Amino acid sequence: MALPKDVPFTGKGGSPLGESPSFSQVACPKCLGAARRDTDTMDTFVDSSWYFLRYASAKFVDAPVAVDDGRYWMAVDQYIGGVEHAVLHLLYARFFTKALRDLGLATVDEPFTNLLTQGMVSKETYRCSEHNWLFPNDLVGSEKDGWQCPQCRRPVERGRVEKMSKSKKNIIDPEDLIGQYGADTARLFTLFTAPPEKDLEWSDQGVEGAFRFISRVWRLVYQQRELWLNPSGNGAQAELTSEQRDLRRVIHRTIKRVSEDIDERFHFNTAISAIMELVNALSATTQDGAKLKSAAPIVKEGLETMIILLAPFVPHVASELWEQLGHREQLDQVPWPSYSIVALEEEQLLIVVQVNGKVRGKLTVPADVTQERIQALALTDSKVIGFLEGKKLQRVVYVPRRLVNIVVEG
């Protein structure tokens, strides 16, 4: 029979067909007594096996999919899903796509071009011998003195760290987290704690750390806001100092690292780590009050870059800080920054000097120095020469721009 068209979609959960008496209330075909028709008419995997083709032709009313629209949009560039989808959903989607291809309704052989299988969020479990699994927020006591069951006050057994699930009650209500710290903290913690393909173990201390970092970024921008709004009117010099060039190098290095981590590897945790290093460099510059005014333009450049790079992770705070720096355009309309190859070039190199594989000294040399000059400096360095006296030199191994290893007998 055809499914009814007057079914109310209330959002209460369960099949909406249960709200349709004409569909659900029927007579038994054997005894003719009152019966209830099964409302589970189609497995959910059936729907999720071709929805992407429907998305590509959402306004098409003459058939389930529009071939021309599918030819334009398909295949899906990037699929991101949990490991539980790796067999059923992805396998069914491939079957459906190939079947629709054979029917002339799809023009691709495979539905997805790239796949990222994300890890699970896990947390420790708590169990009472009398009342079974317990929610972490319901426990009585403390970590130091021991947790107790809120109902019988028996000691609680801490179980293994397992995938968050309602059945074992090792879950965190996102509404509580957002109410206490804000949505950006939840986002930053989740993205920073582990690579997306790895499991994430929930940590209350980690959430606190994410909140402290966001607060630090806020203070960095807001406490000197008047200076950032008019950096060129505070005695800024035309030529950058050596320290300011170093800061500019950090800025452009961060742009490069974050761009590559997001676009090429989906490693959001290392992208955030790079931004944290930039925040450290900016904070160090703002601590020097005597040089701050002259450094204000380059610091503002760094702050603006930091905010744009943070926007994918903490969009609400980033948008507010962007406005605080005097910008009227919406942050999501601002182009992604590009890095300068020239700015990335280092003026000096730190060369580690080893003797038979053990670190014996370090050299600071110009970036354009020759290999021969570096080796000569290493062999005559005051901290190294004592380890060479009386020993026969076998060879010198040079790792470009990084280290010199002097190999001697004995």
CA separation for the pair 16, 77 (Å, rounded): 33
Q: Does 190 or 14 have the greater pLDDT score?
A: 190
Tokens of 243: 């320290």
Q: Do 107 and 60 lie in a common domain?
A: yes
Reported confidence tier of residue 235, pLDDT bands at 50, 70, 90: very low
Assigned domain for 198 exists: no
CB 170 within 8 A of CB 162: yes
Query: What CATH number did the domain enclosing 263 receive?
Result: 1.10.730.10
Q: What's the number of domains the chain is made of?
A: 4
pLDDT value of residue 208: 93
pLDDT over 60 at 61, yes or no: yes
Reported confidence tier of residue 106, pLDDT bands at 50, 70, 90: very high
Q: How far is CA 316 from each of CA 50, 320, 394, rounded to the nearest angstrom?
A: 34, 6, 61
pLDDT value of residue 262: 93
Assigned domain for 265 exists: yes
Residues 6+ apart with CB under 8 A from 96: 49, 50, 111
Q: Do 226 and 286 lie in a common domain?
A: yes
196 three-state secondary structure? coil
Assigned domain for 290 exists: yes
pLDDT value of residue 236: 44
Assigned domain for 307 exists: yes
pLDDT over 80 at 65, yes or no: yes
Q: Do 338 and 355 lie in a common domain?
A: no
Q: In this structure, what DSSP letter does residue 294 have?
A: H
Spatial CA neighbour of 343 closest among 246, 238, 240, 231: 246
- What mean pLDDT, rounded, does the chain reach? 88
Q: Do 332 and 245 lie in a common domain?
A: yes
Q: Do 68 and 15 lie in a common domain?
A: no
Which of 118, 152, 183 corresponds to the end of one domain? 118
The predicted model gives 212-231 an average pLDDT of: 91
CA separation for the pair 297, 301 (Å, rounded): 6
Query: What CATH number did the domain enclosing 367 receive?
Result: 3.10.20.590
Which of 83, 118, 153 corresponds to the end of one domain? 118
Q: Do 394 and 290 lie in a common domain?
A: no
Q: Do 273 and 338 lie in a common domain?
A: yes
Q: For residue 221, which phi and psi values (nearest 5 degrees)?
A: -85, -45
- Give per-residue pLDDT as tens, 13-28: 778 888 888 888 999 9
pLDDT over 90 at 77, yes or no: yes
Q: Do 213 and 257 lie in a common domain?
A: yes
Q: Do 219 and 304 lie in a common domain?
A: yes
pTM of the model: 0.69
pLDDT value of residue 200: 79
Ranking 95-104, 216-225, 331-340, 366-375 by mean pLDDT, the lowest is 366-375
Q: Containing domain of residue 253, as a range?
A: 204-343
Q: How far is CA 405 from each of CA 131, 250, 283, 376, 383, rounded to the nearest angstrom?
A: 64, 28, 36, 12, 14
Assigned domain for 8 exists: yes
Q: Does 320 or 121 have the greater pLDDT score?
A: 320
Assigned domain for 378 exists: yes
Q: Do 301 and 365 lie in a common domain?
A: no
Assigned domain for 99 exists: yes
Spatial CA neighbour of 5 closest among 20, 18, 27: 20
Reported confidence tier of residue 238, pLDDT bands at 50, 70, 90: low
Which of 99, 118, 137 corresponds to the end of one domain? 118
Q: Do 359 and 310 lie in a common domain?
A: no
Q: How far is CA 149 from each of CA 44, 129, 165, 170, rounded to the nearest angstrom?
A: 38, 9, 19, 14
The predicted model gives 136-143 an average pLDDT of: 84
CA separation for the pair 155, 288 (Å, rounded): 53
Q: Do 378 and 313 lie in a common domain?
A: no
Q: Does 54 or 44 have the greater pLDDT score?
A: 54
pLDDT over 50 at 338, yes or no: yes
| Proportion of the chain above pLDDT 90, given as a percent | 50
Q: For residue 268, which phi and psi values (nearest 5 degrees)?
A: -70, -30
- Alpha carbons within 13 angstroms on the beta-carbon side of residue 184 total 18
Assigned domain for 108 exists: yes
pLDDT value of residue 96: 94
- Give per-residue pLDDT as tens, 159-168: 888 888 888 8
- Give per-residue pLDDT as tens, 353-363: 999 999 999 99
